[in-house]
Amino acid sequence: RKEVEQDPGPFNVPEGATVAFNCTYSNSASQSFFWYRQDCRKEPKLLMSVYSSGNEDGRFTAQLNRASQYISLLIRDSKLSDSATYLCVKDTGRRALTFGSGTRLQVQP
């Protein structure tokens, strides 16, 4: 089983829609989780960290459920510019990150 598993998508949604991605992970010892965003043929960039209490950054909300070992990302009022691949990430505890294979989002006009 992969350490971080994501639905590859693509998720095709209209502008203004709300879309949610889930990600499951193994190795419950991981302490830190993140969502990164990767545009086509570009480098990954940190979108937001994920906390058990949940955290919100504008239209983006991230949630961590340690009991069920899953992480979620909710995007409200989708914009065309949100089209990208969203990478679910956890720390390895050794100053390195383990990336999921990503969920592709395509927002359509």
Partner 1 sequence: DTAVSQTPKYLVTQMGNDKSIKCEQNLGHDTMYWYKQDSKKFLKIMFSYNNKELIINETVPNRFSPKSPDKAHLNLHINSLELGDSAVYFCASSQEVGSGGFSYEQYFGPGTRLTVT
User: Regarding beta strands 4-6 and 44-50, do their DSSP bridges make them parallel or antiparallel, or are they unpaired?
Assistant: unpaired
Of 43 and 109, which has the nearer Cβ to partner 1? 43
Q: Is 92 in the site for partner 1 (CB under 8 A)?
A: yes
The arrangement of strands across the sheet holding 19-25 comes to 4-6, 19-25, 70-75, 60-65, 55-57
x/- site string to partner 1, residues 23 to 42, per CB under 8 A?
A: ---------x-x-------x
The two structure tokens encoding residue 40 = 């086509």
* C-beta of residue 87 within 8 angstroms of C-beta of residue 100: yes
Q: How many residues bind partner 1 (CB under 8 A)?
A: 20
Of 42 and 77, which has the nearer Cβ to partner 1? 42
Which residues in this chain contact partner 1 in the complex, by CB under 8 A? 32, 34, 42-46, 49, 85, 87, 91-92, 94-99, 101-102
